[in-house]
Amino acid sequence: MKNNSHVSPTFLVAKQFRRLTNYLIISAIATLSTMAIANSALAERREVDIRLLVNQDEGFTVMTRKAEILARSAAQRTFDREVLVSDVSVKVTAQNQNQDQAAIILQLIVSRSDWASRPDPKIWATYFPMAKDLIGIK
């Protein structure tokens, strides 16, 4: 057992305070480093909005197929161009030229891994059939 009778109490408190300070500094550095690494590895989600002009001569089925083609192209292009994107959301809105009316026809939400395994918009899309009535398509 050490004899600390010749050491002042202030010195002992200062020594403990220094240890605590060093511990807190090291902990803060470790935490900030971990946060920086984690933030760079976070998945990014990209949102794409597409406007499709309504052609009254075409039916809603044709317009839906066009929306699928546009959504598929947008999703593929996003994954090809942006390596850090892990999820994409493509919203296709039909716009009626004559009446300033618009409604979402479909929304495609898919992860990169799901898209790589099945690049089919029919699987990952949510369809909005009420858009037909909202924008006045036959």
Q: Which stretches of the chain drop beneath a pLDDT of 50? A: none
Q: How far is CA 41 from CA 25, 28, 44, 45, 117, in A?
A: 25, 20, 9, 13, 22
Q: What is the pTM of this model?
A: 0.68
Q: What is the pLDDT of residue 3?
A: 60
Q: What is the pLDDT of residue 62?
A: 93
- Supply the pLDDT for residue 8: 64
